[in-house]
Structures are given as structure tokens and as C-alpha cells.
């Protein structure tokens, strides 16, 4: 059985982008001409997912509104003959079915996943973090679904990071069972130097089985006093298999200011309407440096 639902936690305060995120959800910050969250939703839709479960908090209604039908806007665009924009707006509202669940306290990613249990039930599901954008020929989630289909066990996406960056991530240790696929033997959240030799960093893409909910209920608060999904996954791998998949593609940390700018430049260069002019502009900038 393959997942048909994706959980996207969007309850964070976005403090790294203040003051821009004082009233605007960080997931609605625009990269070129789309909010960050739309890139994530389009990835899961392209991977065959039928429903998105947003884990929200107070002040996040703009995200739900973005994927909702807007009669006034569509009527205005139709009357003005702006058919390209009308089609784009309709595309957004028809992308996917969206369900919202409230995370009433900021208790970490593990807790954000835990509050979706009543909506997800006893089926496998995808988790995507809105901070991580992955550009790839084949959607990252779709790549992972093929691994899940083969092993029928939880899968986390990983990439190799520099030694000095290991302490910023959840790190997976394990043996490679086929090219790019590892059976996880330990997974540790933000290890201190010397605690691991692995450089396989977990990024914001997961395919989980419903057993993760029981593991989360048994997980005590960890780093930052939060319930860490990484800790629950480390429990899960002692009770059944857990796999790490080194995805094909380029990942951007859009939750970091530098990563956000890098994503903007990269995606602008690939934009069908803006790419050529933007590339010319960048060359002019570089020539003046």
C-alpha cells in the first residue's frame, strides 16, 4: 500500500525571517512568483499524493486561503480578460484537497506529526517540511515512494554534508544495501563532534508507517525541550527496519536566509519567462565585482 496523504507542518513562527514573518507565514514568502509552500505541494501532487494535511497554528490562515477557491478574484480576472492569471489561480485551488490540524503548542516536529494521527489513521504517509526545496528531474517524494514500495518500511531522505555541518542535522548511520539506499542502524539528532562518523544528514522528506505514532507517544522531550521526530525514528528502527535514501537532486534550505536567496536565484534562472533576462543581469553584476 502506497501513501495517499502528505503531512506538511507549517505551525512554526519563522523567527529566522523576522520582521518579514511578523504577520506573513514564512511558508508564504515568495520565491520568484510562488510562495514556498506551493513548491512543496506541487512536488507531492506530482508524486501522486491525493491529500495534504497542514499542521497549522494561529496566524496561518493565509496558507489555507492560498489553496482555496476565490470567487471574487477569479471573477475579476475573467472580466478583465486576464486568462493566463486566471488559469494560474484556478490551478492552485484545484491542486489538491487540503485538511488542517492545529498544533496548539510549539513542541517540535515530532509533536506536529503526532497531532495528525486521527486524520492519517492506520495508513503510511508522507511528511514534507516547508523549509526544504528540492529541485530534481524526478520529484524527491516520488523517488522515495519507489524505495518504500520495494521495502514497505519507513524511509528518510538524506544527503551528505560537510563534517562541520553534521551537528546541524539529524544524522543517519547504516549500511548501504543498494546504491543510494541504506538500512539505518542509528539515527541521532544534532550530534556533537565525535559522536558519529556518518555525514548522511536527514532532510525534510519522510515516508512513515503508522507505527511511528506509538513511537512518538513513548518519546521524551529532547533537544530544545521538543519532541524530536529523529528520536522516535531511532526507536522505530529497533522494532522494525528503517531506510535512508540518498535522493537525486539539489536541495535548498529555504528556512535559512542564505538558502532562501540561493533558491531564488537558482529557480529564477530556470524560470521560462524571466530566466534569460535574469541570467544576463547576473552576468552584468558579476562583471562589476
pLDDT of residue 11: 86
**Residue 134, domain member (yes or no):** yes
**CA–CA dist 67, 45 (Å, integer):** 13
**Residue 263, domain member (yes or no):** no
**Residue 278, domain member (yes or no):** no
pLDDT of residue 173: 94
pLDDT of residue 74: 77
pLDDT of residue 208: 97
Q: What is the pLDDT along the chain (289 residues), one digit of tens a residue?
A: 889 999 999 988 778 888 888 888 899 999 998 899 999 999 999 999 989 999 998 878 888 888 887 777 878 788 878 787 777 777 777 777 888 899 888 888 999 999 999 999 999 999 999 889 999 999 999 999 999 999 999 999 999 999 889 998 999 999 999 999 999 999 998 988 888 999 999 999 999 999 999 999 999 887 778 899 999 999 999 999 999 999 999 999 998 899 999 999 999 999 998 999 999 999 999 998 8
Closest CA to 102 of 93, 92, 91, 114: 114
Per DSSP bridges, beta strands 154-160 and 242-246 are parallel
Closest CA to 9 of 223, 226, 269: 226
**Residue 96, domain member (yes or no):** yes
What is the pTM (predicted TM-score) of this model? 0.90
**Residue 213, domain member (yes or no):** yes
pLDDT of residue 88: 77
**CA–CA dist 37, 288 (Å, integer):** 35
Domain that holds residue 142: 5-255
pLDDT of residue 210: 95
- Report the domain count for the chain: 1
* Residue 158's CATH number: 3.90.550.10
**Residue 267, domain member (yes or no):** no
**Residue 23, domain member (yes or no):** yes
**CA–CA dist 281, 28 (Å, integer):** 26
Residues in the chain: 289
pLDDT of residue 175: 94
DSSP for residue 220: P
pLDDT of residue 260: 94
**Residue 264, domain member (yes or no):** no
Q: What is 5-20 written as a DSSP string?
A: EEEEE-----GGGTTT
Amino acid at each position: 500500500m502506497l501513501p495517499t496523504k502528505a503531512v506538511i507542518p507549517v505551525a512554526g513562527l519563522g523567527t529566522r525571517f523576522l520582521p518579514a514573518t511578523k504577520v506573513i507565514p514564512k511558508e508564504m514568502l515568495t520565491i520568484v512568483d510562488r510562495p514556498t509552500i506551493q513548491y512543496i505541494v506541487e512536488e507531492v501532487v506530482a508524486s501522486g499524493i491525493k491529500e495534504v494535511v497542514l499542521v497549522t497554528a494561529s496566524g496561518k490562515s493565509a496558507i489555507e486561503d492560498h489553496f482555496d477557491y476565490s470567487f471574487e478574484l477569479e471573477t475579476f480576472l475573467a472580466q478583465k480578460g486576464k486568462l493566463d492569471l486566471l488559469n494560474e489561480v484556478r490551478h492552485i485551488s484545484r491542486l489538491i484537497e487540503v485538511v488542517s490540524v492545529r498544533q496548539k503548542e510549539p513542541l517540535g516536529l515530532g509533536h506536529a506529526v503526532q497531532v495528525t494521527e486521527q486524520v492519517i489513521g492506520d495508513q503510511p504517509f508522507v511528511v514534507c517540511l516547508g523549509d526544504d526545496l528540492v529541485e530534481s528531474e524526478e520529484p524527491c517524494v516520488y523517488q522515495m515512494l519507489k524505495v518504500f514500495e520495494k521495502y514497505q518500511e519507513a524511509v528518510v531522505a538524506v544527503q551528505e554534508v560537510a563534517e562541520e555541518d553534521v551537528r546541524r542535522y539529524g544524522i543517519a548511520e547504516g549500511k548501504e544495501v543498494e546504491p543510494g539506499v541504506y538500512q539505518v542502524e542509528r539515527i541521532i539528532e544534532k550530534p556533537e563532534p565525535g559522536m558519529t562518523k556518518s555525514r548522511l544528514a536527514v532532510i525534510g522528506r519522510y515516508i512513515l508507517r503508522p507505527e511511528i505514532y506509538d513511537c512518538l507517544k513513548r518519546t521524551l522531550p529532547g533537544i530544545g525541550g521538543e519532541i524530536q521526530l529523529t528520536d522516535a525514528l531511532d526507536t522505530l528502527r529497533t522494532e522494525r527496519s528503517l531506510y535512508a535514501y540518498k535522493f537525486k537532486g539539489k536541495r535548498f534550505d529555504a528556512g535559512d536566509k542564505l538558502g532562501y536567496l540561493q533558491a531564488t536565484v537558482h529557480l529564477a534562472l530556470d524560470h521560462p519567462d524571466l530566466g534569460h533576462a535574469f541570467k544576463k543581469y547576473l552576468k552584468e553584476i558579476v562583471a562589476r565585482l
